[in-house]
Amino acid sequence: MSDQTLLKVTDLQRHFPFREVQGLKMVRATVRAVDGISFTVKQGQTLGLVGESGCGKSTTSRLVTRLDEPTAGSIEFEGRDITHLKEHQLRGIRRDVQMIFQDPYSSLNPRHTVGSILTTPLKVHGLHKGKEKQRVQELLELVGLNPEHINRYPSEFSGGQRQRIGIARALAVEPKLIIADEPVSALDVSIQAQVMNLLAKLRDELDLAFIFVAHDLGVVRHFCDQVAVMYLGKIVEYGDKKKIYEAPEHPYTQALLSAAPDINVARGIAPKERIRLVGDVPSPIDPPSGCRFRTRCWKAQDVCAQQEPPLVAAEADISTRGRREGGLHLQACHFPEVKTDLVAEVEHSA
Amino acid sequence: MSTSTNTVSTRTAGANTAGEVVLDVSDLSVAFPTEEGLVQAVSNLSYQARLGRTLAIVGESGSGKSVSSMAVLGLHNPKRTRITGSIKLDGLELVGAPASTFQKIRSTKAAMVFQDPQSSLHPFHKIGKQIAEAYQAHNKVSKQIAHKRAVEMLDLVGIPNPQRRANQYPHEFSGGMRQRAMIALGLVNNPKLLIADEPTTALDVTVQAQILDLVNDLQKEFGSAVILITHDLAVVAETADDILVMYAGRGVEKGSAKEVLAQPSMPYTYGLLQSLPSHSEDLDELKAIPGAPPSLLNLPSGCSFHPRCQFKDQVPGDACFTQLPEWRPTPGLSNREIRCHLADPVATLQLDEGAR
Ligand SMILES: Nc1ncnc2c1ncn2[C@@H]1O[C@H](COP(=O)(O)OP(=O)(O)OP(=O)(O)O)[C@@H](O)[C@H]1O
Ligand SMILES: Nc1ncnc2c1ncn2[C@@H]1O[C@H](COP(=O)(O)OP(=O)(O)OP(=O)(O)O)[C@@H](O)[C@H]1O
Ligand code: SF4
Ligand code: SF4
Ligand SMILES: [Mg+2]
Ligand SMILES: [Mg+2]
């Protein structure tokens, strides 16, 4: 992993305006889907994006890939500001930043063969001219599919194999950054493991950077270097994986980690303490004042409704193992407090 | 447990009905004729769901979990699907039953909650109205009473301000709330069986925990049988009583959910559990089962898992390649059945786990 910053996102916002009928009136309202977030991704690095359903993870993904345009803030890719580039100016970005989608069933055109699905991006970007077929075969081999299957249709592959086709398509144009939005959640754990292994291998071999969106905290912990926890359009905690998992300071992160189900219960190991959040996520149309988590936070005080807590360096930058460590750890709570033992100690079977 | 001729007189499970078999699937096969040939999605599947208990169905993507459950609710196109075997819901045979039978049982006896609530809620009708109509379809009551019932149901599934929420449209609900509304719709007629197909896959863990708690609470209250289809084995460990593991359209292991997850006794189940990230923490690679699931157009001979099974050489002769393993109790374990030829699967798998 080099130290080169690939992606720099600053105060990014995406507000969706819409009209709503209230009684007899039409009123204008705004969904504040992403509301001022900042993060960076270095070459070869993997950032995990986790958080409540509807907190803005997919919207962030679409902004970074510039499939959507931000309302405010900036996105820099390799030092170049791409925030408001027009489609014709985005050619390079369309190649350098690729997306892998959640659903391996609907993201591939059922009427096109695998060969044509993989050839299209090569043609669009004028890559491997005249040798497209050879490149497609290479790609299939790279993702562990049989190159003889080049003339098959997506329906003739299993879910895991289809996800590999989606990965091959993303890799076809030799990107530098891949945004994977829930790439394995529809797959069984064994196929999940195959796909994760493949992504990890490619990351190492090609020095790829990833933004990895997922609900499965175990998968994120395995795959990511850094994690950003989002709540209602904001990042509430952000840092090195170890810090987020082993010494989280923000109450929402703690609730999230503690809610993850634990398979060790099957072995008679008592379930760990659970923080149960009550109530629903407030609407991003009318988010709570001050700290957005305050309507569900058990620690909320008056100041939480008055002042928005900024994302600042975490209280303790000492790991639970007692060693003093550097590294990134930011949190946004007026009353941060380290909580350990929220994730089960993992037994080592090796 | 009472016999299947014994009818259940009350919807709420008392001590006398809990544990009673409400769904009895036996030798169920589901095949789809396609241009490329016959897709054998489910083969000779047998399982039972009991009142007051949760049965988890887990297994590979494409192993027939959804297809078999959809057969229970008559959701397949009869012209394009071949279904054989038997599905008895509360004593009523459903294989070959007319559409009118399924209409009657849907929601009164059995309901299904899908991964994507959007697909089962009508986007242009108010949530409360949809629930009220489902109630009226099976109960001769006035609109007002049905509406009241809908509000009650929304309240029951933990939706705040149910009065107001009943008058909103699905798109005005968050993902987690929509999933609750789906459950309210599914439960409005007190079905004896609730099939939840990946009900929380699209939701984050805090909402997931709320939904699973809700299903558990409602099950206690109504005493229904729940079938939970999921890839999340930790969810199974925390919520299910019984488990059925499927591979290539067949059941391959069944028993108590916790026991099976703590000590799998069939190579596919074992491989599945070994694939979990928690088994490879700090290792660079996860331990995936090598190879790909078989084609359902042309299932492997013998044991369907043999092309990927690392233990097949431990079975003498060519049984794994030529003979379909029949269900049998796992030697040395009680309340456990597998389809596998290994002489002593527990010892074989333990030896392997130790060697890793
Ligand atoms: N085009 C749009 N118009 C209006 N609102 C939108 C639009 N796209 C997204 N939203 C809203 O923005 C918010 C964030 O949505 P987003 O899809 O980014 O969430 P997410 O974090 O990916 O959630 P999930 O985990 O459920 O996939 C949600 O409240 C959503 O309803
Ligand atoms: N209408 C159909 N025609 C042809 N094949 C079908 C049809 N419906 C399902 N199948 C096939 O039947 C098999 C079983 O599908 P099913 O949806 O039951 O899998 P599943 O176990 O639910 O998988 P997942 O975990 O991915 O949801 C799959 O290979 C699927 O492609
Ligand atoms: S700022 Fe206040 S409301 Fe927000 S997380 Fe911290 S304690 Fe809770
Ligand atoms: S029957 Fe043979 S191939 Fe099948 S799981 Fe058992 S050992 Fe493996
Ligand atoms: Mg999303
Ligand atoms: Mg399914």
> Which pLDDT tens digit goes with each residue over A270-326?
777 788 887 777 888 889 999 999 999 999 999 999 999 999 988 765 444 444 456
**Cα–Cα distance for residue pair A45/A47, rounded to 1 Å:** 7
What are the C-alpha distances in Å from A282 to residues A232, A243, B42?
8, 27, 43
Task: Give the tens place of pLDDT for each residue, B160-190.
Answer: 788 888 999 888 887 778 888 888 888 888 8
Q: Residues B205, A259: contact at Cβ < 8 Å?
A: yes
The pLDDT confidence band at residue B117, using thresholds 50, 70 and 90, is low
A100 interfaces chain B, CB cutoff of 8 Å: no
Q: How many CA atoms lie within 13 A of B166 on its CB side?
A: 24
> Rg of chain A over CA atoms, in angstroms?
21
Chain centroid to CA A266: 30
Q: Quick one: pLDDT at residue B251?
A: 97
Q: Residues B136, B93: contact at Cβ < 8 Å?
A: no
Of the candidates B95, B102, B73, B82, the one whose C-alpha atom is nearest the C-alpha of residue B30 is B82
Q: Residues B237, B260: contact at Cβ < 8 Å?
A: no
| pLDDT over threshold 70, residue B81 | yes
Q: Residues A95, A84: contact at Cβ < 8 Å?
A: no
How much is the mean pLDDT over chain B? 87
Task: Please report the ipTM that was assigned to this predicted complex.
Answer: 0.81
| pLDDT over threshold 90, residue A156 | no
DSSP 3-state of B194: strand
Dihedral of CA B70/B71/B77/B80: which sign? Answer: positive
What is the full DSSP assignment across A266-287?
GGTPPPPP-----SPPPPTTSP
Q: Does B115 contact ligand 2 (Cβ within 6 A)?
A: no
**Cα–Cα distance for residue pair B147/B324, rounded to 1 Å:** 53
**What's the CA-to-centroid distance between B53 and ligand 5, angstroms?**
33
**Residue B49 carries which DSSP code?**
E
Domain ranges for chain A, please list them.
Answer: 245-350
| pLDDT over threshold 70, residue B194 | yes
Q: Which helix (H) or strand (E) holds A13?
A: strand A5-22
Q: Quick one: pLDDT at residue B88?
A: 97
A280 interfaces chain B, CB cutoff of 8 Å: yes
Q: Quick one: pLDDT at residue B120?
A: 74
The angle formed by the CA atoms of residues B152, B155 and B158, to the nearest 5 degrees, is 155
Residue A259 CB partners (closer than 8 Å, separation 6+): A274, A275, A276, A277, B205, B206, B208, B209
What is the full DSSP assignment across A175-192?
-SEEEEESSSTTS-HHHH
- Ligand 4 atom with the smallest distance to the CA of B309 is 8
Q: Does A300 contact ligand 3 (Cβ within 6 A)?
A: yes
Question: Using CB atoms, which residue from A54, A219, A266 is nearest to B261?
Answer: A266
State which residue of chain A sits closest to B173, comparing Cα positions: A283
**Cα–Cα distance for residue pair B196/B173, rounded to 1 Å:** 20
| pLDDT over threshold 60, residue A57 | yes
Q: Residues A6, A78: contact at Cβ < 8 Å?
A: yes
The pLDDT confidence band at residue B9, using thresholds 50, 70 and 90, is very low
3-state helix, strand, coil in chain B (%, to 5): 35, 20, 40
DSSP 3-state of B249: coil
Q: Does A309 contact ligand 3 (Cβ within 6 A)?
A: yes
Interface test with B, best of A50, A52, A53, A195 (most B CBs within 10 A): A53
What's the gap in Å between the CA of B310 and the closest CA on chain A? Answer: 15
**Cα–Cα distance for residue pair B346/B333, rounded to 1 Å:** 8
Q: Out of A99-103, A215-219, B319-323, which region has the weakest mean confidence (pLDDT)?
A: A99-103
DSSP 3-state of B56: strand
Question: Strands of A312-313's sheet, edge to edge?
Answer: A97-100, A177-181, A209-213, A46-51, A226-231, A234-240, A329-331, A312-313
By alpha-carbon position, which residue is closest to atom 22 of ligand 1? Answer: A58
**Dihedral angle at the C-alpha atoms of B298, B304, B308, B310, nearest 10 degrees?**
-150
State both tokens at A335.
């009353």
What are the C-alpha distances in Å from A72 to residues A30, A36, A94?
14, 8, 21
Give the phi and the psi of residue B58 in degrees, each rounded to 5.
Answer: -125, 170
What's the gap in Å between the CA of B208 and the closest CA on chain A? Answer: 8
**Cα–Cα distance for residue pair A244/A254, rounded to 1 Å:** 9
What is the full DSSP assignment across B9-37?
--SS--TTTTT-EEEEEEEEEEEEEETTE
State both tokens at B348.
């074989």
Q: Quick one: pLDDT at residue B129?
A: 95
| pLDDT over threshold 80, residue A103 | no
**Cα–Cα distance for residue pair B57/B123, rounded to 1 Å:** 30
Q: Of the ligands numbered here, which is closest to the C-alpha atom of A252?
A: 3
What are the C-alpha distances in Å from B151 to residues A74, B108, B128, B166, B210?
45, 19, 7, 6, 19
What's the gap in Å between the CA of B207 and the closest CA on chain A? Answer: 8
Residue A267 CB partners (closer than 8 Å, separation 6+): B261, B262
What is the full DSSP assignment across A52-118?
STTSSHHHHHHHHTTSS--SEEEEEETTEE-TT--GGG-HHHHHHEEEE-S-TTTSS-TTS-HHHHH
- Conformation bin of residue A94: beta by default, left when phi > 0, alpha when psi is -120 to 50: alpha
**What's the CA-to-centroid distance between B250 and ligand 6, angstroms?**
14
